[in-house]
Amino acid sequence: MKREIVIIGGGASGFLTAITARKNGRDVVILERKDRVLKKVLTTGNGRCNLTNVNASNQNYFGIEKTKQPIEKILESFTSQDAMKFFEDEVGIICNEENRGKVYPLSGQAASIVDGLRFYAQSLGIEIITDFYVTKIEKEMFNFKIISEDKRQIIAKKVVLATGGKSYPELGSNGSGYELAKSFGHTVTKLIPVIVQLKAEKEKIKGLKGIKSDAEVTAFGENKNGEKIKICTYDGELLFTDFGISGNVVFNISYVFPIYKNVEFEIDFMPKFTYNEIFEILKKRRTILKDFTMEQFFNGVVNKKLGQFLTKSAGIEKLSKSINELTDNEIRKICTTLKKYRIKIIDTNGFKAAQVTAGGIPLSEVNLENLKSKKVKNLYFAGEILDVYGECGGFNLQWAWTSGYFLGKNL
Ligand SMILES: Cc1cc2nc3c(=O)[nH]c(=O)nc-3n(C[C@H](O)[C@H](O)[C@H](O)COP(=O)(O)OP(=O)(O)OC[C@H]3O[C@@H](n4cnc5c(N)ncnc54)[C@H](O)[C@@H]3O)c2cc1C
C-alpha cells in the first residue's frame, strides 16, 4: 500500500496536520500506536481540556537549544483566536474563556474535543489506523518504508513525526519518535520533564507533607550568562509533598526549571499583606495572645503545622516560649520567614508525572518555513517532539494545533 502522507502519532498535532493537509486535497493516513487516538488530549486540563490560551504569544514558549525559539511566524499562522474559530466553526465546539485567558470547551469535557476531532477527521476521509506502533522507518529511493512492531509495512511519499515527547508514556508518547528521528541522523537535545511537581531540599520541607496554602511564589535562577535573576512570580495553591512541592502554582512556575540553573523559589505565605502590615498584625497578636505559648501564635492565620514550622525556621526553637516574650526583632524574623521563605529546587518528579517534555528535535535541524527536516527529504515534524515547550495554561496544546496547522498547510 503506498500513501502520499503518513502521519505517525494520532495526538493533537497529528490531527491538526492531517485535517489541514486533507482540506488541501492531500491523501492522509494517521498511524497511532495505542488502541485509540488522542488519549493524551482526553486527560488534559483535569479531563476538561484547556485547549488554548487567548494570550498565547512567543513570550510563552521556550526551548533547550535556545531559550527563546524563533517560532513567531508559526505561532502567527494559527493563533489562539484561529484555534477557537476552528473548533467552533468546523468541529462544533463552543469555547469558553475562563481565568487567565484559559479556554475550555463549554461542555467542560475533554471528550468533546476528542470526539469532535475524530468525527471531523473521518468525515474528511482521513484514514486512522490504531494499534500501529512504528518502530522503524527505512528511506528508499523516493519513498519511506514504515514498519510496525508486528512487521506490517506502509510505503509513504512523505512522513510526519508527530509522536509527542516522553511524558505520561502510558498515554502513548514513550519517546520512540526521538529514536525514529535519530535513525535519520537527527539529534535530540537534553530532555527535561516540565509542568510537573518539583523536588526541593529536604530540610526545608520536613514535616510539611500534605499541607496546602495559598501562596505567591517567585522563582530566581541563573541565566546562561551565569547572572542570578528574578524570573517570574505566580500565585495559587501550593501543596507540600514528601519530596517537595506541588499544586497549581508549582505547575505554572515549573517551566523555569529546564532553562535556568540553581533555581530557588521564594514563597510568600501571606501575599495579601505587605511586610509592614504583617509586622503590625503580629505585634497586635503578641498583646492579644500574651497568655499563650508560641504553639498558638499562628492559630487562625496560617495552617497550624506550617505556622509552627515557620516559627522554628525563624529561629524560635522552643514552641513553649511565651508569646509575650517575643521581641520586635523576633517578630521581624517571623515576618521575613512568612513573606520570603526560600527553598532550592533540586529536581523534577520525572517524566511519568510531567505534562510536557522540554527539549526535543533542535529547531536548527528543521526548516522553519515548512517544518521540514534539514537532514532527510520529505520528513517533517509537528508538536511536542520539537524543542518547543510552553507555560502551563493551554499553551502546549496551542503549540500542537499551531505547528500541526502550519505543517499541514505546507505539506
Ligand atoms: C495529564 C496531562 C494534562 C495536560 N493538560 C494540558 C492542558 O490542559 N492544556 C495544554 O495546553 N496542554 C496540556 N498538556 C500537554 C499537551 O497534552 C501536549 O503538549 C500535547 O498533547 C502534545 O501534542 P502532540 O501531538 O505533540 O503529542 P501527543 O499528544 O503526545 O501525541 C503523540 C501521539 O503519538 C503516538 N505515538 C508515539 N510514538 C509512536 C510511534 N512510534 N508509533 C505510532 N504512534 C506513536 C502516541 O501514542 C500519541 O497518541 C497535558 C499533558 C498531560 C500529560
For a ligand 1 pocket test, name from 75, 355, 387 the mutation site with the most ligand atoms within 8 angstroms of its C-beta.
355
Long-range contacts of 228-235 (CB under 8 A, 24+ apart): 228/262, 231/256, 231/260, 232/256, 235/271
Buried b / exposed e along 160-183 (16+ C-beta atoms within 10 A): bbbbbbbbbeebbbbbbbbebbee
Does one domain contain both 220 and 163? no
Domain that residue 332 falls in: 197-349
Does one domain contain both 64 and 179? yes
Does one domain contain both 278 and 328? yes
Given a contact cutoff of 8 angstroms between Cβ atoms, the answer to whether 171 and 40 are in contact is: yes
Does one domain contain both 153 and 245? no
For cell 485547549, the residue is 51
Candidates 346, 384, 377; CA nearest to 185 is: 377
For cell 518502530, the residue is 135
Does one domain contain both 207 and 130? no
Does one domain contain both 343 and 374? no
Does one domain contain both 176 and 302? no
From the number of C-beta atoms within 10 Å of its C-beta (0-12, 13-18, 19+), residue 287 rates as: exposed
What is the atom index within ligand 1 of the atom nearest the CA of 48? Answer: 8
Among 316, 349, 382, identify where a domain stops: 349
Q: Is 384 in the pocket of ligand 1 (CB under 6 A)?
A: yes
Given a contact cutoff of 8 angstroms between Cβ atoms, the answer to whether 400 and 163 are in contact is: no
Does one domain contain both 366 and 343? no
Does one domain contain both 319 and 262? yes
Query: In one letter, which amino acid is 377?
Result: K
Q: Phi-psi bin for 362: left (phi > 0), alpha (psi -120 to 50), beta?
A: beta
Take residue 11 and report the three cell numbers written for it.
Answer: 495526538
173 CA → ligand 1 middle, Å: 6
What is the atom index within ligand 1 of the atom nearest the CA of 396? Answer: 11
Does one domain contain both 85 and 122? yes
Tens-binned pLDDT, residue by residue, of the chain (411 aa): 799 999 999 999 999 999 999 999 999 999 999 999 999 999 999 999 999 999 999 999 999 999 999 999 999 999 999 999 999 999 999 999 999 999 999 999 999 999 999 999 999 999 999 999 999 999 998 999 999 999 999 999 999 999 999 999 999 999 999 999 999 999 999 999 999 999 999 999 999 999 999 999 999 999 988 999 999 999 999 999 999 999 999 999 999 999 999 999 999 999 999 999 999 999 999 999 999 999 999 999 999 999 999 999 999 999 999 999 999 999 999 999 999 999 999 999 999 999 999 999 999 999 999 999 999 999 999 999 999 999 999 999 999 999 999 999 999
Which residue, by CA, sits nearest to atom 13 of ligand 1?
44
Take residue 239 and report the three cell numbers written for it.
Answer: 501543596
**Ordered DSSP codes for 366-390:** EETTTTEESSSTTEEE-GGGBS-EE
What CATH number should be reported for the domain holding residue 18?
3.50.50.60
